[in-house]
Amino acid sequence: MSVVALTACPAGAKGRSVMPRAEQEKLVVFHQLYPDAPAPRRADATLSETVALRAHRYCEPFTTASSFGWYVFPPIDFSLMWEGETIYWKVAPRDPWTVLESAVALPGFAEVFAPHAKEKLGGLGTLPFLGRGLEPGIVQIWTGLLVRTRPGWSIHVRPLANHPRDPRFEVLDGIIETDWWLGPIVTPIRIRKTDEPIRFRRSEPLYMIQPVPQEAYAERTLSSFDVVRGVDALGDAEWQGLHEALTLRHHGGEDERAGAYKREARRRAKER
């Protein structure tokens, strides 16, 4: 059976597909095609209890960023290793290393997917699990997800926010317009160290997905900015805003000051 090549960039689609009405009720709908793969999980402000209690308790910007989105997990435990030219992979730790060619399917998935694909997709083959990128050390991973969002919304695929990074590899960022693209969410990683096995576990998140309104990264939006230089350029409104921020920062004892922004942000959220 043929295996289609992975690509990190959606290409070839024309027009916009219509989202089923049932999916319009949710901002994001995840379709996990690998039957036994972990489902995406809401991101955790405590990073599964790996952060300091003080940061979780007081630092609202930290916890808001950490919990913004969903964790995505590898579908199975597997390992990768790059020796500078050749990339190897295997499933079980005692398995022999296999050269990663252009693309490989998840073990056992073709038998599940092929009967449906033959009827619905024609001769488009199966969906690969791993693929080797064009640049050295790049591996493309499909975790089994298709994602659909409301019209006007995209997803940002990115490394885990505020999570300690593995020095052996990095997840590359990407923004996908999933209000029309329903292809595989393929995530490239860049292996940074050669000759070191990297074990990916289905119990540990690989990357996170965050919802992004397309207006946020439109050219007209990002072109709308200004830089005002010098203290003398601060107006009355800016001085008032700075005064309010510093009042919160310096009022009360140490614990009260540490949680001031958090309390004020939550008060304002209730008023919206």
163 assigned to some structural domain? yes
176 and 260, same structural domain? no
Report the range of poorest mean pLDDT among 11-15, 75-79, 200-204: 11-15
Write the pLDDT tens digit of every residue in 215-238.
999 999 999 999 999 999 999 999
Q: State if pTM tops 0.95.
A: no
| Cα distance between residue 257 and residue 58, in whole Å | 9
Quickly tell me which residue has 């591996």 as its tokens: 139
Say if residue 3's pLDDT is above 50: no
258 and 123, same structural domain? no
| Cα distance between residue 137 and residue 173, in whole Å | 16
261 and 175, same structural domain? no
Quickly tell me which residue has 């488009």 as its tokens: 124
Write the pLDDT tens digit of every residue in 170-179.
999 999 999 9
Say if residue 185's pLDDT is above 50: yes
Return the axis-axis angle of helices 260-271 and 236-250, rounded to nearest 10°: 120
Give every CB contact of residue 68 below 8 A, 6+ residues apart in sequence.
43, 161, 210
Say if residue 30's pLDDT is above 90: yes
Q: Residue 82: which domain range? A: 21-218
261 and 145, same structural domain? no
Say if residue 56's pLDDT is above 80: no
- Report pLDDT for 4: 41
